[in-house]
Each structure stands twice: as C-alpha cells, then as structure tokens.
C-alpha cells in the first residue's frame, strides 16, 4: 500500500506550517536535517517541521563520494576516538538501512615513491578492522602479486606497483539515504516540505509569546507565509553562515571557511574490472602534486551505477555561493590525468566523461567554537552544535557517516530544553525504505513477490533501491496498469512504475528531482537528456501538467546539465 509522499503531501504540510505552531523547526533538508527530524519524531512528545529551499539532498548531501567510511586517515593522526565513532555509525547504518548502505572493499594502491610502507598500511588496516564488529569476511589483507591485484580491481598501472592493502568501508546513494530518513520522519508525524525557503525573522520569544515567527517562501507558487515555532535549528551545511548573518545576534564573524571546501567527482565509463563477483574500489595517492613539491592527496575510484566509475574528490575554493558549485576545468584536468595514469589501457579524456557533480563541504573555521555570542557549544573535530545568544541552534560541519550521531546530540539538547523525556531510537529502528525482515535478502523474498510482469532481477533491483514498502507500491501500480512495467529506456533498467512512484511516493516535484536524485538517470550515459521529454510527458499526462509546464521542466533540466558540464 502506497503511503503518499507527494506534491499533495507537500501542499498539506505547507498549510500545517502556516496554521499550527511547532516545537522545533529544522531549516535544511540534507542528511543532518533529515536525521534530526527523524530522531525528534521517533522520540515522541515533540512537534517538528522541516523546510528545504531546494529539493531534499540537493546540496552537499547529494554530492558526496557516496561512501560511509570510518576515517581511515585519522588512524595516522591518532584520533582513535573519532575512528571508533565512525565505525560504530557505519555498523548502525548497515543495520537500519541494509539495502542502501552496503559493504565495499577498497584496495589501497601503493606505487614506488609513495609514502607509507605497505606493512605499515596493513597494520593500520588491521587495527581499523579491529575497531568495529564487522563480519569475518571483512578482513584486511596485503597483496604484492600484480596478477592477483589485477584479478580484483582490473588492469591498473603495473609499472612501479608495489602492492595493495584491502580494507572495508561502505557505499551508499546519499540522496536516497536522505530521502529514506525524511520519509520515516513523515511516517511518524514530521511536517516536511521541499522548495520552501527561509526568508527572515519576524519576532523572537518575549514575555507575551514563547514563539519565534519567521517568514518562508514557497518557491513553487511564490507565496510568502509565516511559521511559528519554539525552537529553530539550522542544518544548512555550507549555507549555515548565510542563515547566521540574519540572526539578530550576528557579530560579523564567519563560522565556516571556503578554502579547500569544494570537491568534485567525475562519472566515467567503468574503469574497474576483476574476476571476482565482489566489486572493489580504489584509494590511490595522486602524482600531480609532485611537480609542485606538494603533499600527495588520496583520491577514490569507486564503482558507480549503470556500468560507470566515480573518481574524486578535489579540494579547491568554490567560486561564489555554494549553489553555484560546479566542476572547474582545472579540477577536471586534474582528475582525468590521474585516472589516465592509473588506467593506461583506457582512453580517458573529456569525451569520456559521462557526467560530473560538485559539492561544498561545511568546513569549520578555527574560531567556530570560540564565539562569545554563543550560549552553548558541543564540539568535535568534525562538527559543532551551538546555540546563539538569540536562541537559534546551529549545526556546523558534520559528515554523511556520522549524521545520525550529530542528530542524536542535537535532539538530546532540544529534548532537555523543551522538558520532554528523551528516548533515542534511531540506532535500532530500521528505516521504512529498508528491506524488512519478511522480505529478506535475494532468494528469500522472490517467492513472496507475485507480479509476473517483472523479472526476478528487476524485482531484486527495485527492492534494493526502494526497500520493501517502495517495491510493493510499485508492484501495486503495475497490477493496476501492466504498461507501467515497460522500461523507460532500452539501455537503462528503470520502469515507468518507479518513475510514477518517485512522484507520488517520494515527493519529487521537478524532472530534475526525478532524473538527478531519485533515480540517478542523470548519472548514466546521456544524463537523461534523451529521456527528459518522455518522462516529463509521462508525468504530465498523469498529473495534469499542461504543455507549458512540460516544456519548462524539460528546458530547465537541459539548461542545468549544460551549465554543470560547461567547463568540461
């Protein structure tokens, strides 16, 4: 049965935001904001809402390396507490979202002239594994035989290859994890809406009212309205300083830095091979910096969807505001040259690039935890949770892996300040978009799924992507209209029913939402430019978009892709 989470849900939630005061308003619909409102709703006793000025996960939370990782590099810095914390969070995410967060072996390649001896890397990898309760299969190992390395990861550069160490992290579709987290908040009463932008403060709590009043704008209709709430939390990532500048207590001190904050990734044809059924990723040290006598950087080459590989990331200063982040020509040349060096048997140039994306990290300034106007600070190396003198709570920094813990810490403080009993359940309760126990792993659930219009492989893919609840909703669409089992493209696995589901069950509002974040069709060859017309027409026919709306959606998506790729 479909639990509707559509544009109709959004409209209803906006009306609720207009008319019913909240206990907590979360501003920012990335992974940290999603984690926070989920925690608050599972806790009970708190009425919370969330607004996001764009689509959910349309900022940094949808532009990551797609990794849940324990921070292996922090072992060298002897920050063991942080590594333990991240490893524990990885295990929790495996438990609550097993179809989205999946183990990934990573081969750390070492070439002649690279720092750090192989034996030292292996020792650190063993300790890394020891810090978690991973399955016995997740054992680190050292390989020196080039042929064995090629059998795992494909024909990487053999000249000067001294060996590799295998360690385990996890891969995830960051946009889908954010969405699944928000949907769980919705199921438990959270009032969430995308395309609603915070505008300004109207009033603060005083002797006559214990509520903040803010103005917000519906970016779809253009309507401006007010929201009343007892507490406000900013989880806006690299946009946090923009919100801080509107705080009545703003003291002209920035909390974030932009230097080395932008990271880009290139989507390339599949570079990774190997003879095993388990896909491996790569971690390698770059060579470009040697020309400038600079320290080598580590970059990833990871298996992507649709027979692609993802390579990244960079550390550059973004040009302009976070929303204008896109790959620069220098960043593209840098990553391509490194990819070509490691995969000499492939031709990797600008014409090879399938797509790219960029995100801005919310890096904390050195003064971020020392501001005199702050009433409270909860500080770690990775994030700060602080309350300004005006009572606005800000979450600075953070990362995908530890988002649940950051949300838990923030919810702890909110529950105490609201005098609500605290009962955090987010570490044990699975997400509704996860595979439920009655569905299980491949082979266990196929017999329970009776729709004959889909092959077993298609059923498995849908369950893995949307979880059991999402799958059953898609199956219901197909049982009502068998034509919805038809593929949207002969070269991609997506069927029409799941496109419909993203609109009715995942609050996709635009074609960009569907192609770029809900399905990742925009990350496949062609980037959905060849399918935008068909998909917009398909959605339009079922939801009464007129031809003007259809044309506008197509044009907007094409302009965005061309803008994103302009420097390639």
Which of 436, 33, 89 is closest to 237 using CA atoms? 33
Query: Which pLDDT score is estimated for 2?
Result: 61
Q: Which helix (H) or strand (E) holds 24?
A: strand 22-27
Domain boundaries, the chain: 7-61+175-257+363-417, 92-171+258-360, 446-564
Query: Is 446-564 a CATH 3.40.50 domain?
Result: no
> How remote is the C-alpha of 213 from its chain's centroid?
30
**Would you give the DSSP letter of residue 71?**
-
Query: Which pLDDT score is estimated for 169?
Result: 94
CA–CA separation, 210 and 341 (whole Å): 61
Sign of the alpha-carbon torsion through 85, 92, 239, 394:
negative
- Residue 416 is encoded by which pair of tokens? 């105490």
Instruction: Tell me the backbone φ, ψ of residue 358, rounded to 5 degrees.
Output: -140, 150
Torsion of CA 438, 441, 445, 451, to 10 degrees: 120
Residue reference for tokens 């969430």: 192
Q: Are 515 and 536 in contact (CB under 8 A)?
A: no
Query: Which pLDDT score is estimated for 443?
Result: 44
Right CATH for 7-61+175-257+363-417 from 1.20.1530.20, 3.30.1280.10, 3.50.50.60, 3.30.300.160: 3.50.50.60
Domain 92-171+258-360 class?
alpha beta
Taking the CA of residue 221 as centre, how many other CA atoms within 13 Å lie in the half-sphere pointing to its CB?
12
Query: Which pLDDT score is estimated for 563?
Result: 96
Q: Are 477 and 484 in contact (CB under 8 A)?
A: yes
Q: Which helix (H) or strand (E) holds 467?
A: helix 456-480
Q: What are the residues facing 496 on neighbouring strands?
A: none
Beta strands of 326-392 (E only): which ranges? Answer: 355-360, 363-364, 374-379, 383-388
Question: Rg of the chain's alpha carbons, rounded to an integer?
Answer: 23
Which of 163, 153, 45 is closest to 109 using CA atoms? 163
Query: Which pLDDT score is estimated for 241?
Result: 95
Q: What is the pTM of this model?
A: 0.95
CA–CA separation, 368 and 361 (whole Å): 15
**Would you give the DSSP letter of residue 432?**
T
Instruction: Tell me the backbone φ, ψ of residue 388, rounded to 5 degrees.
Output: -75, 170
CA–CA separation, 551 and 513 (whole Å): 16
CA–CA separation, 139 and 373 (whole Å): 48
**Would you give the DSSP letter of residue 440?**
-
Residue count of the chain, please give it. 568
CA–CA separation, 532 and 514 (whole Å): 10
Instruction: Tell me the backbone φ, ψ of residue 457, rounded to 5 degrees.
Output: -65, -40
Residues 6+ away with beta carbon under 8 Å from 379 = 369, 385
Query: Which pLDDT score is estimated for 371?
Result: 58
> How remote is the C-alpha of 95 from its chain's centroid?
18
Q: Are 132 and 93 in contact (CB under 8 A)?
A: no
- Residue 56 is encoded by which pair of tokens? 């959910």
**pLDDT one digit per residue (tens) for the chain, 568 residues:** 467 999 999 999 999 999 999 999 999 999 999 999 999 999 999 999 999 999 999 999 999 999 999 888 888 778 888 899 999 999 999 999 999 999 999 999 999 989 889 999 999 998 888 887 766 778 889 999 999 999 999 999 999 999 999 999 999 999 999 999 999 999 999 999 999 999 999 999 988 889 999 999 999 999 999 999 999 999 999 999 999 999 999 999 999 999 999 999 999 999 998 777 889 999 999 998 877 778 889 999 999 999 999 999 999 999 889 999 999 999 999 999 999 999 999 999 999 999 999 999 999 987 555 554 566 555 455 799 999 999 999 999 988 999 999 999 999 999 999 999 999 999 999 998 777 544 444 444 444 445 577 889 999 999 999 998 899 999 999 999 999 999 999 999 999 999 999 999 999 999 999 999 999 999 999 999 999 999 999 999 998 899 999 999 999 999 999 999 998 8
Which of 89, 85, 47, 43 is closest to 424 using CA atoms? 43
Query: Which pLDDT score is estimated for 135?
Result: 67
Q: At what angle do helices 403-417 and 31-43 cross, to 10 degrees?
A: 50
């Amino acid at each position: 049965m479909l639990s509707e989470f559509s544009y109709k849900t959004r409209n209803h939630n906006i009306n609720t935001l207009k008319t019913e005061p909240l206990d907590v308003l979360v501003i920012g619909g990335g992974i940290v904001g999603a984690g926070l409102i989920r925690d608050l709703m599972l806790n009970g006793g708190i009425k919370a809402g969330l607004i996001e000025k764009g689509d959910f996960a349309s900022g940094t939370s949808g532009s990551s390396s797609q990794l849940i990782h324990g921070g292996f590099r922090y072992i060298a810095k002897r920050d063991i507490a942080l590594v333990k914390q991240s490893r524990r969070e990885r295990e929790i995410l495996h438990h609550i979202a097993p179809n989205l967060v999946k183990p990934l072996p990573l081969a750390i390649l070492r070439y002649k002239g690279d720092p750090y001896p192989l034996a030292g890397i292996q020792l650190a990898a063993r300790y890394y594994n020891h810090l978690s309760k991973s399955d016995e299969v997740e054992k680190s190992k050292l390989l020196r035989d080039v042929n064995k390395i090629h059998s795992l990861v494909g024909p990487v550069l053999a000249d000067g290859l001294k060996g590799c160490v295998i360690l385990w992290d996890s891969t995830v579709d960051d946009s889908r994890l954010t969405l699944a987290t928000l949907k769980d908040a919705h199921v438990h009463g959270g009032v969430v809406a995308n395309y609603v932008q915070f505008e300004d403060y109207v009033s603060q709590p005083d002797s006559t009212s214990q509520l903040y009043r803010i103005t917000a704008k519906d970016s779809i209709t253009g309507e401006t309205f007010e929201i009343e709430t007892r507490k406000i939390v900013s989880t806006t990532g690299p946009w946090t300083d923009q919100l801080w500048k509107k705080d009545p207590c703003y003291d002209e001190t920035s909390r974030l830095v932009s230097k080395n904050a932008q990271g880009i990734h290139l989507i390339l044809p599949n570079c990774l091979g190997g003879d095993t059924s388990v896909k491996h990723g790569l971690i390698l040290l770059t060579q470009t910096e040697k020309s400038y006598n600079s320290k080598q950087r580590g970059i990833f080459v990871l298996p992507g969807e649709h027979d692609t590989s993802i390579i990244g990331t960079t550390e550059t200063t973004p040009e302009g505001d976070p929303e204008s982040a896109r790959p620069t020509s220098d960043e593209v040349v840098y990553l391509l040259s490194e990819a070509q060096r490691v995969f000499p048997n492939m031709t990797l140039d600008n014409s090879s690039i399938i797509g790219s994306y960029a995100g801005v990290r919310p890096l904390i300034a050195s003064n971020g935890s020392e501001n005199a106007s702050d009433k409270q600070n909860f500080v770690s190396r990775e994030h700060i949770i602080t309350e300004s003198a005006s009572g606005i709570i800000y979450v600075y920094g953070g990362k995908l892996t530890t988002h649940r813990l950051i949300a838990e810490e923030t919810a702890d403080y909110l529950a105490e300040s609201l005098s609500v009993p605290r009962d955090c359940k987010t570490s044990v309760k699975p997400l509704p978009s996860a595979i439920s126990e009655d569905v299980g792993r491949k082979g266990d659930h196929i017999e329970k799924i009776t729709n004959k219009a889909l092959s077993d492989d298609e059923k498995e893919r849908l369950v893995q992507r949307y979880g059991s609840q999402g799958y059953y909703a898609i199956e219901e669409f197909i049982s009502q209209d068998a034509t919805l089992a038809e593929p949207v493209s002969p070269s991609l696995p997506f069927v029409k029913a799941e496109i419909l589901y993203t609109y009715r069950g995942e609050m996709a509002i635009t074609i960009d939402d569907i192609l770029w974040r809900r399905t990742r069709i925009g990350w496949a060859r062609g980037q959905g430019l060849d399918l935008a017309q068909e998909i917009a027409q398909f959605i339009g026919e079922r939801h009464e978009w007129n031809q003007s709306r259809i044309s506008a959606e197509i044009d907007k998506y094409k302009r965005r892709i061309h803008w994103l790729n302009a420097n390639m």
